[in-house]
Structure 1
């Protein structure tokens, strides 16, 4: 049963107020049922989901529309990056597959991530400029895949594919919601039947490995997919599953495990050591994008995960930005159990591998912490402007890392 609301633009104050009302309602219900119900009820999903309500709400879309039309920067520069990308052209031809393989023999998942980038970018062009050809192209890509794809498989990497491409696919679909040429119901069915089972299987079983074996990003992309599918299908239970895991999940993607140690630098800035910092910086910056997507989607549904646990995620983003800008950061030895028998592994220093790698993940974080909340986000801010204007899939190389984030944050988040 769909609980969608009409396309109304919720003012920010209204969203946070709804969050307060939601909590108040949960507490009232808990008092009626007994104290034990408080934990599950207070954090419940919104009674009515906001649409569009994933990476972009109506306010974001309208601002980009007005600013680009007026020729204002930095929006115009962001728009020019979008329109110059080969994936955003309305002539893009989808290449849907019945089976997508990531990891092992017969890999073909590049077809999927290229088509998702094209669907998202064409959807953005339609939303911002109203171009019918882009809408038709995006709908054609989404429809082609929802009528064809039945299986995502491969070695353990199949869980990465189900997670990353799950939340991204759902975001493209959310932008096309309400377009007459898009078969939303069939797409929703594909997300629930093909992507969600793998997302859920990973978060609950971790591929039968030691709970700390998989890096934070594995949990994060699957959490993001569960949340996005929950929003796309108006499924409160799935949305709650993702929020609950963010706050208290057993694996490395939950906030306390993803940011295991807190530090303060000599200038007094609070920093949070990221779980993958001793591994390499490419995956660490990827984590900023995956956790950022979860926080932004939740924000657009009235939940503030960005500030959860003393703004722990902001501290991590400051840490990652500072190190990747070339400065030194403190590092506490990180020890974890690996494999199936939890064999102990240790990292004693931060990794300089792929240090400074550019990924389009910073605008979302800067414009949230600095322009919505008016906080001093020194390092995030410097990183944001050093990589602006942000592009998207196709602008950062042809391998999967260049497609781990949808991008175009300058266009969609600048305030």
Structure 2
């Protein structure tokens, strides 16, 4: 792996922290030399220590963006096929017209959240087109969408699903904004205010209280989308306290999104490979693959800031992803009875067998994992590799149906992460 591909060398297995790494002369020099913008500011949370963040520094850091640009310009595969998948998507058209709402409702009466996720994916896809091809019309469109929403949105509400909306659309919105940082006419300060005032309070409320339910009541994906949003908001706003809140929860949180709860059982040798049972495996495979995709996004955003959560706890996430991939490729995996507390009184429930519901479902979530474990780390991950190859070229929102599940990942991993 060259420094051109990654602007700084992340800490390994919980070693040197993001701030410690980037404050070293070597880490800072490498980041600057690679073309990253480094901003040092005080956290917006009172009492938090000053932090140094790398920008762009979420799902796409400088190295990944530059590689996609070079590969597409050269017509190289599979990047070109990934690019063609992007440009064929109607959300990526520079003519997209935003439809901002003051109130977004997910769950209950009056739901309108589809308006939001369609506009977010249009902003993200136009931002990618601008970053890769330099087309000003796409950059202008992305900014038009982001500015329209930050000038309008004041509330995300609904039943408990409002927390899903705040999590999923919070981290996705922040990623689109991160790509447009510094673009002429983009009101970044107003956008940050929207993220801090509208999305973060719901994120924090859920992670701290879990909607007044038993701590294990909510599945891993609920925690993970919330953790993603807090992490992304922390990066966007140069807010060390929020960033650290999300990372600390990944490592030590009591809910199902933390790494040891999301992957509760590890099998050291199954056909020669270590596997980890995913928390939702007894529920269905649609939500299981969703969780893997969300944890992949979380680890990649942290990696861009110099923290290796992909490798945390002896590659526990890799083992979980290998397990999910192997089963969804049609192969057998072990299963240990999984018991959890539900509702407000922690009534005990159990899964005794793995669920075949939704087995074989493909989400645009595998190229990013194979890129990290197979390319950056050079590890043998045959099941992740096979899933990535079967899903190529990965698309994004609008390519996987009109329901909200088709918009849970930003996608386009073949374009941005193909090995």
TM superposition score normalised by structure 2: 0.90
SS at match of 1:352: coil
List aligned pairs for 1:29-44, cutoff 5 A: none
Corresponding residue number in structure 1 for 2:157: 153
Equivalent of 1:129, from 126, 129, 133? 133
SS at match of 2:234: helix
Structure 1 distance, partners of 2:20, 2:123, is 38
Structure 2 distance, partners of 1:285, 1:200, is 24
Structure 2 distance, partners of 1:155, 1:97, is 18
Contact 1:87 1:117 in 2 (8 A): yes
Is there any run of 5+ residues in structure 2 with no aligned partner, and where? 22-47
Task: Tell me the C-alpha RMSD between the 2 structures.
Answer: 1.8
Corresponding residue number in structure 2 for 1:230: 234
Corresponding residue number in structure 2 for 1:297: 301
Note if 1:355 corresponds to 2:359.
yes
Structure 2 distance, partners of 1:313, 1:256, is 9
Corresponding residue number in structure 2 for 1:320: 324
Equivalent of 1:263, from 267, 273, 281? 267
Corresponding residue number in structure 1 for 2:117: 113
List aligned pairs for 1:195-214, cutoff 5 A: 195-214=199-218
List aligned pairs for 1:52-131, cutoff 5 A: 52-131=56-135
Distance apart, 1:46 and its partner CA: 8.5
Corresponding residue number in structure 1 for 2:343: 339
Structure 1 distance, partners of 2:300, 2:353, is 31
Corresponding residue number in structure 2 for 1:16: 10
Corresponding residue number in structure 1 for 2:312: 308
Structure 1 residues 119 and 274: alpha-carbon distance in aligned structure 2, compared to 1, 3 A threshold: same
Structure 2 distance, partners of 1:45, 1:204, is 22
Distance apart, 1:22 and its partner CA: 4.2
Structure 2 distance, partners of 1:23, 1:134, is 32
Per-residue CA distance 1:197-216 (angstroms, 9 max, x = gap): 00000000000000000000
Distance apart, 1:268 and its partner CA: 1.4
Equivalent of 2:54, from 45, 50, 57? 50
Determine which structure has the larger helix proportion and give its number: 1
Structure 2 distance, partners of 1:319, 1:22, is 29
Contact 2:284 2:356 in 1 (8 A): yes
TM superposition score normalised by structure 1: 0.91
Structure 1 residues 198 and 23: alpha-carbon distance in aligned structure 2, compared to 1, 3 A threshold: closer
Structure 1 distance, partners of 2:417, 2:50, is 23
Equivalent of 1:190, from 194, 200, 203? 194
Equivalent residue pairs, number = 390
Corresponding residue number in structure 2 for 1:240: 244
Contact 1:319 1:329 in 2 (8 A): yes
Distance apart, 1:60 and its partner CA: 0.7
SS at match of 2:168: helix
Structure 2 distance, partners of 1:224, 1:48, is 19
Structure 2 distance, partners of 1:104, 1:45, is 40
Contact 2:55 2:178 in 1 (8 A): yes
Structure 1 distance, partners of 2:11, 2:350, is 44
Distance apart, 1:263 and its partner CA: 1.4
Equivalent of 1:394, from 395, 398, 404? 398
Note if 1:376 corresponds to 2:376.
no
The runs of at least 4 consecutive aligned structure 1 residues that moved more than 2 Å come to 9-26, 44-47
Per-residue CA distance 1:361-386 (angstroms, 9 max, x = gap): 00000010000000000100000001
